Structure 1
């Protein structure tokens, strides 16, 4: 006999923009977010019996998000997501778990005539600051913070060699290569018992985000990387060291490749997993663009390596 073994529903892609006006300073600050709300609880009859009496409408979730954004701070996003998630489990007895995901988009204040402009901003890349807060009647509040969509590249200072080889291996060992990736880094906070515990941690959320971002960028840039695996492990170690309230750190780093265009304009995939392959231009009057003369590369989107890890205390 079939049975409903898992169910949740909600509202995704809720776009929220909030402006904070500092009348005394004559400046404004802006926050833009994309929010997803998902609920679990005593909702099975809406699936199995077409009985909607326990269904909190997804439009209600959207309107609630706007009201909470009006009545409460939206920064740091960890606090806003926790307030919103806690609202649903506190307001509706039959809702046992509420998950709120917040994606905060980057708006950076413009500099005009050498001074920060009071109310003008620019979209500073595709990087987002992400948060997931899960409120559970049984377990408290779980919060995961993250950096996503941070695209980085180093033109040297990365190697990959000494890996396992057999008859299926064609990849050449490389002592120096281009390394490019799109950073997805997350850190899980120790579980909070109540919303008040989240509120008491507010100063640490921004600090942890700044530390995680700085560690990621500095280690990526400075280290003579023997592998993506080893570099991401060191990043996790450093974040755990600096943020004692965090219990686990995870990274997901896909390789962004640069392939060689070979003779007669054909693509030569001499090293599918190595990002320093270049454009062979020797067919054109002996033009040198390989080895020490390499300057022009051909970026490719797939297939790509994907390296992930989680480091816990």
Structure 2
């Protein structure tokens, strides 16, 4: 029976690139699907893999092109990637590249764009919880769920417990990113709940973005302190922050360094950091 059509490739190839222009950094996070067609029929019909490129190799090419082209937009990156497959493997007759981009928008403070801090587009779901008894006692809690933000530098993890189970190396320069769940308890009524909720988020983002982070724990406590100082109408704030990990790609097999430019985005397993900060 004839083999009418075939193609194969690699999907779910996630990559984050950092492009540096002086102090200013750009981040681009893509999810790539690369499918190829060509002289591969015998792999299907005769178990002959002599001309077939491994799907793992197809993934590796994405990472190499990412390292060599940190500053290209998604459209240009996908074109360069497709050309790379055709130039490298003559048995490939056509390539189909699909890219889905996770958009990170640059933060601004006091009208000035921040060089290395970002929030996720379409970010977070506001939440409200009300508890009320017939006798008149009530509690009002506002918050946000899935509020994602990132800084591409000015974060570290050093001087922690090390034993025979420890494998993570210390660093003074890493990406710090999270998808935060936060809530705050109202002790008084503000002039505007929406405006004051916005002030709380603006405050915690500014602390996160503009100060060096010795740990997520360090940042969370200082973010909570600042929120309480900025908004006297809340009595406490709770924050739960699962890490969004970006693992540096090992490109040494291809004769390339990484220099903290290309990363694998992943969120499982993740660190889970939580705290509540209240008034004394």
Give the counterpart of 2:157 among 160, 164, 172. Answer: 160
- Provide structure 2 residue ranges, at least 5 long, that are not aligned to the other structure: 1-120
- Give, in whole Å, the separation in 2 of the partners of 1:158 and 1:144: 30
Aligned equivalents of 1:138, 1:312: Cα separation in 2: 26
Distance, in Å, in 2 between the alignment partners of 1:162 and 1:312 is: 27
Q: Among residues 157, 177, 180, which one is paired with 1:180 in the alignment?
A: 177
**Paired residue total:** 159
Aligned to 1:243, which of 231, 243, 249?
231
Q: Render the CA deviation track for 1:70-103: whole Å, top value 9, x for unaligned.
A: xxxxxxxxxxxxxxxxxxxxxxxxxxxxxxxxxx
SS in 1 for 2:191: helix
| Highest RCO, 1 vs 2 (Cα 8 Å, sep ≥ 6) | 2
Residue number among 110, 125, 134 corresponding to 2:131 in the alignment: 134
8 Å contact kept, 1:130–1:148: yes
Alignment partner, residue 203 of structure 1: 191
Pairing 1:68-217 to 2, within 5 Å after superposition: 125-138=122-135, 140-190=137-187, 201=189, 203-217=191-205
Say which of 250, 253, 256 aligns to 1:287.
256
Superimposed CA distance per residue, residues 208-253 of structure 1 (whole angstroms, 9 cap, x where no aligned partner): 2011110121111111111111111111111111222211111111
For residues 159 and 294 of structure 1, the distance between their equivalents in structure 2, rounded to whole angstroms, comes to: 13
List structure 1 segments (4+ residues) > 6 angstroms apart after TM superposition.
Answer: none
TM-score, with normalisation over the residues of structure 1?
A: 0.48
CA contact (8 A) 1:147 1:213 kept: no
Note the C-alpha offset of 1:204.
Answer: 3.8
- Measured in 2, the distance between the counterparts of 1:282 and 1:174 equals 20
- CA RMSD, Structure 1 to Structure 2 (Å): 1.7
> Structure 2 length normalisation: TM-score?
0.53
- Corresponding residue of 1:309: 275
Q: Which residue of structure 1 aligns with residue 264 of structure 2?
A: 298
Report how far residue 294 of structure 1 moved. Answer: 3.0
How far did residue 202 of structure 1 move? Answer: 5.5
Q: Call closer, same or farther: CA 1:173–1:157 in 2, change over 3 Å.
A: same
Give unmatched runs, 5+ long, in structure 1.
Answer: 1-123, 193-200, 260-277
